[in-house]
A and B are shown apart, each in its own frame.
Chain A
Amino acid sequence: MSHNNHKGGAGIYIITAIALGIITYIEFGLIQYNWMEGSSAILTLVALSVVKFLAVISIFMHLKDDNKTLSGFFTAGLLFAFATFIAVSFLFNVNSTKNRMAAPEIKTTSSHEASTENSELLVEAVGFNFPSGPENQSYQIEKPLDDKKDYSFSLDNAVPEPVKNEAAVGSSQSFDWQELGQKTYNNCSSCHQANGNGIPGAFPPLNKNMALKYNADKDYLLKAVVFGLTGEIEVDGSKYNGAMPAWGYLSDEEIAAVVNHALSSWDNPSIVEDFKAYTPTDVAKVRSLELSSADTLDQRP
């Protein structure tokens, strides 16, 4: 059957091979000698690789002369692969946007602002984004903040927020870190694990160890998070020689919250002596020290 199609000779294979070689050289030149830049370079590269892809499939794998069923199966596989890719990247993009938006500065100055902030967090957590309605905006302008009776009757604010408001008013210094800390800990759990036990030999445990470090030096934990930590350390008899990345790009609120979260998780609370939750101000103070990850090692208690 398909034999006859190939009896024509090997000429087409040689031509294809030369073309493939030339295309590869063009791709190389694009990058190495900067023949093109920006999106046009990306488009060209993608187009060239598609050409190579199709040439190998249709000529070397002789799909063009073969039974169409075979092409059908392969195309289906390709489409599935592509759909999976799109789905995965969409999922992750949505996720990252959520994380970025769920990392706001938590304001405790104005009770009303704080409640708006909370409702946004709530909305983000549910994964739904309401447009910031004009009612909401105008409400802020029209009604004075202390007019709480009207507030509770307003339909678009029928969320149990006023209760939280009063708590926030009650202690202007309080820093509501619980939820934020738990959320921020997602950055840590891939290495230190959700149970805080780390991975023996690779990532040190936060469980117990963190409480001991807190008791020894109140600033150390913040330094380790803000500036990272490199070099050999020993925790509970095991040696670790990895690198804790510097997390300084997180906000002061997030860093304070996540350290508070870890200190009040697992076995840490039973070891910690007179725990006083970190505030964003504490983090800002440590941040101004401008240490390196090696300095953190030197200052490790």
Chain B
Amino acid sequence: MSLTSHGYRSSNMKDPKLMMWIFLASDCMFFGSLIGTYLVYRGRSLMGPYPQDVFNIPLTTISTFVLLMSSFLMVMALYYLRTNKIQSFRLATFGVIAFGSIFLGFQVFEFSHFAEQGLTLQRNLFGSTFYVLTGTHGIHVAIGVLWLVSLLIASYIRPMTSKDEVYLDVAALYWHFVDIVWIVIFTVVYLIEFI
């Protein structure tokens, strides 16, 4: 493979994974500062709507569940590719794309619902920090969806085998990371608000 033919890449197939993990570590800091900013400004909005006026926990729980299950399908897709079950791999990947899109749909619904209630990016500190944080996360999900769509299409153009595992593995790492960021956001931003 071309990836391994360069001297500086050595012959280690896991190098793309190392790159991905380093990227994820940096993304941790990115989300860490966004979540930190949200928490620092929490409860400092001078006017409503406030988080408790707009959050819908049942709805967000469903979208959280959808994202978690997309992670499960992702790991299954990787498993099927490893075991050379290409049809199952395609189906599972399609499932991840579908679930990711459903999550994004929930987010679009949530954002437009919030906007109807008067919460805009400029409205108050809550609006600014909330939209920047969850919007950045949503963009990550959207990038993941596009990435997986491209892999799914690629699997039809040039049949994938277990040798191509690393391509999917890297995308899967990214996808799971986006999932764990949401795990934190769901607890820290949504749930703790109601205690």
A residues apposed to B, CB below 8 Å: 1, 3, 6-7, 10, 13-14, 16-17, 20-21, 24-25, 27-28, 30-32, 37-38, 41-42, 45-46, 48-49, 52-53, 56-57, 59-61, 66-67, 69-70, 73-74, 76-78, 80-82, 84-85, 88-89, 92, 202, 243, 245
Contact = CB atoms under 8 A, between A and B. Distances in A.
A56 B71 contact: yes
Nearest to A61: B176
A187 to B, nearest CB: 9
B33 A27 contact: no
Interface in B17-70: 17-18, 21-22, 24-29, 31-33, 35-37, 39-40, 46-47, 57-58, 61, 64-65, 68-69
Interface residues of B, number: 54
Contacts of A59: 75
B65 to A, nearest CB: 5
Contact of B24 (A7, A14, A17, A77): A77
Contacts of B25: 73-74, 76-78, 80
Contact of A70 (B21, B184, B188): B21
A245 B40 CA distance: 20
A20 B68 contact: yes
Given A41-B195, A45-B192, A88 B22 contact: no
B24 A45 contact: no
Given A17-B69, A81-B33, A73 B18 contact: yes
B147 interface: no
Contact of A21 (B21, B65, B172, B195): B65
Contacts of B18: 67, 69-70, 73
Interface of B: 14, 17-18, 21-22, 24-29, 31-33, 35-37, 39-40, 46-47, 57-58, 61, 64-65, 68-69, 71-72, 74-76, 79, 82-83, 122, 162, 165, 172-173, 176-177, 179-180, 183-184, 186-188, 191-192, 194-195
B40 A13 contact: no
21 contacts: A27-B61, A27-B187, A45-B187, A46-B187, A49-B186, A49-B188, A56-B180, A57-B180, A60-B75, A60-B172, A60-B176, A66-B17, A69-B18, A70-B21, A74-B24, A77-B25, A82-B32, A84-B33, A85-B35, A88-B36, A88-B37
Interface of B is mostly: helix
Contacts of B29: 77, 80-81, 84
A245 B186 CA distance: 29
A24 B31 contact: no
A84 to B, nearest CB: 5
Given A61-B173, A81-B32, A89-B39, A13 B72 contact: yes
A105 to B, nearest CB: 22
Q: For A3, A27, A77, which residue has the most chain B Cβ atoms within 10 angstroms?
A: A77
Contacts of B195: 31, 37-38, 41-42, 45
